Structure 1
Amino acid sequence: MGLFKKRKTRATRRAEAKALKHKAKVEAKLGARNDRKKMRGEAKSAKKVEKAQLATLKAQEKAAERTGFSVGQVRRYLGIARLLTPVLAPLAYRGAVIVRGQLDQQRAAKMGIATDELGNYTGHGAQLSARIAGAERSANDIAAQFTDAETARFTAAIRGRLTELTTAVRAAEQMPAQRRKSAHQAISAELDGIEADVLARLGVR
């Protein structure tokens, strides 16, 4: 009927106890083996990190020896540099602006124009474009001073030549460097003649 359970014999109980004990030993052994593997892996990782740190330190020391500074000095200088950067950066920017202004003045003087006109003349032929603009202004001044027919023909011819040279300067921008240089030389020679004609018209020899 199943109302009473059959009692285990002493031999059965001993066998079960022995099996449980063996199982515990096996589990303990496996756990210890896993712990040893984990410890070995952690030790290996720690050694790798230590090795990398030593290599970095040696590299820093060698770099310091080459520059004549110790690692401590290098670190100290880097710290000072970080502190001074917010102070020095505005000064460096201001210095760069001043230098840029001086360079712009030199370029403008070389091209015979005002500094604020530099933006009007860009590209490889900027200086030639500025010369052409100067010659056009001179031609306009002559036309305003002298209203006779001959002067009108002269200034019209000068303006026509200058228009052609402006087109030539623009076309030269797309040329390879060597061809562009040759084109610029030809344009410059033509401008020399035009400027000489304008000066002669003004009575300057």
Structure 2
Amino acid sequence: MGLLSSVREERTERKAEKKIRKGEEKAIKYRAKAQAKASTAAERKLRKKDLRTEQKFHKRAQKQERKTIKADAKAQQKVAAAEAKTVAEQSKAAAEAAFFTTTKMKRYLAVGRLAAPIVVPIAYRAAVAARAQLTEFQAQRAGVPASVLTQFGGPSAALRARIATSRDSAQKVAATESTAEGRAFVDAMTGRLDNLLVAADAADTMPPAQRKSAQRAIDNELTAIDNDLLARLNVHPA
């Protein structure tokens, strides 16, 4: 019995040792596999991080390059503008130096004194004619007679002239109206024209940009009033 028991114990120990070795081998394989997997993941993560870093520096370098190119172009433009300004100033100074010499000035003054009795009247008549042509042109643009336009001054002179002619048209409409409704229409038109005249006076005191906007609004209102008056007279412009 002792011998059989000893054999069984040895067999049991061998089986136990075999199981232990298999367990250790399995653990070693699992650990190696896990380490390999972790190493691969870490490498991928590291490569991904390196790639992001590389892209970041590349974008930063491109941005800096664009900024440098833009700054260089701007500096070159400034240099070119400064050179052009210097050349223009030098040319102007040279022209003035060549034109306004002492001898030439004396000669010009002498000729001017001799020609003044003839030139001044001619220049005056030319100025008057030019002024008349300008007034006629402005009157045509405003759609009013030149004689009416010359009665008004200031930046809104043309608008005041238009208001005056529209008021004359309203009076003509009043002469043809005998009904209460017709008189009320004329009164309404006259009131609107009075308001526009006040607006034109106010526009003259405004800054240029604001004045243009106000004058444009007054002009549109005058056009509407003129159309209403013409319609009242049974005149319908095409």
If the TM-score is normalised by the length of the shorter chain, which range does it land in?
Answer: 0.5 to 0.7
AA matched with 2:121: P
User: Which residue matches 1:150?
Assistant: 181
Which segment is superposed worse, 81-90 or 173-182?
A: 81-90
User: Which residue matches 1:121?
Assistant: 152
Separation of aligned partners in 2, 1:189 and 1:83: 54
Cα deviation, residue 110, structure 1: 2.9
AA matched with 1:181: K
AA matched with 1:190: E
1:140-187 residue CA offsets vs partner (Å, 9 max, x unmatched): 101101212221111111111111111111122222222211111211
Q: Does 1:110 pair with 2:145?
A: no
Separation of aligned partners in 2, 1:100 and 1:177: 23
Equivalences for 1:1-205 in 2 at 5 Å? 66=98, 79-205=110-236
TM-score scaled by length of structure 1: 0.58
1:98-157 residue CA offsets vs partner (Å, 9 max, x unmatched): 222222222233333343333422111111111111111111101101212221111111
Aligned pairs, how many?
Answer: 143
TM-score scaled by length of structure 2: 0.51
Separation of aligned partners in 1, 2:218 and 2:227: 14
AA matched with 2:146: T
Could you say which structure has the greater relative contact order, defined with CA pairs below 8 angstroms and 6 or more residues apart? 1
Q: Is the 8 A contact 1:139 1:155 kept in 2?
A: yes
Q: Is the 8 A contact 1:64 1:71 kept in 2?
A: no
Considering only CA atoms, is the larger Rg found in Structure 1 or Structure 2? 2
CA 1:63–1:141: 2 relative to 1, 3 Å: closer
Q: Is the 8 A contact 1:113 1:130 kept in 2?
A: yes
Cα deviation, residue 88, structure 1: 2.0
Specify every segment of 5 or more residues in structure 1 that has no aligned partner in the other structure, as ranges: 1-61
Q: Is the 8 A contact 2:148 2:161 kept in 1?
A: no
Separation of aligned partners in 1, 2:207 and 2:192: 24
Q: What's the C-alpha RMSD, in Å, of the aligned pairs?
A: 2.9
1:65-101 residue CA offsets vs partner (Å, 9 max, x unmatched): 946xx99788656544432222222222222222222
Specify every segment of 5 or more residues in structure 2 that has no aligned partner in the other structure, as ranges: 1-93
CA 1:151–1:100: 2 relative to 1, 3 Å: same
